[in-house]
Amino acid sequence: MPAILTLFVSVPTLAFVSYLAARIRPGGAAMLTALILIAVLFQLALKTNAGLPIWNQIAALAVAPSAAFAGGILSLRVRPRENR
C-alpha cells in the first residue's frame, strides 16, 4: 500500500515540476526527463541485491520519465497568448 501511495503522489509531482521547468526554460523538461532517467538507472543499479519487485522497476523506468516528459508537453499546450 505505501508503494502505491508513493506512486500516486510522485507521478503528478514529477509532471508539475517538469511543467514548471519548461515554463522557466524551454529545454528544461527534456533535461529533467534525462536527469530522472539517469537517477532511476543509478538507483536500480545500486539496489539489484535488495531485490526490488519487477513491477517497481518497470514503473520506475517507464512512468517517472514519462510523467516528466508529459509535464513538459503540457507546458507547450498551455502557453498564454502574447498581446501584440
- Cα separation, 16 vs 20, whole angstroms: 6
Q: What's the rounded mean pLDDT across residues 55-63?
A: 80
- Average pLDDT score over residue span 53-74: 83
- Residue 8 pLDDT > 80, yes or no? yes
pLDDT tens-place string over residues 12-42: 898 899 888 888 888 888 888 898 889 888 8
For the chain, what is the HEC assignment? Answer: CHHHHHHHHHHHHHHHHHHHHHHHCCCHHHHHHHHHHHHHHHHHHHCCCCCCCHHHHHHHHHHHHHHHHHHHHHHHHCCCCCCC
Predicted pLDDT of residue 30: 86
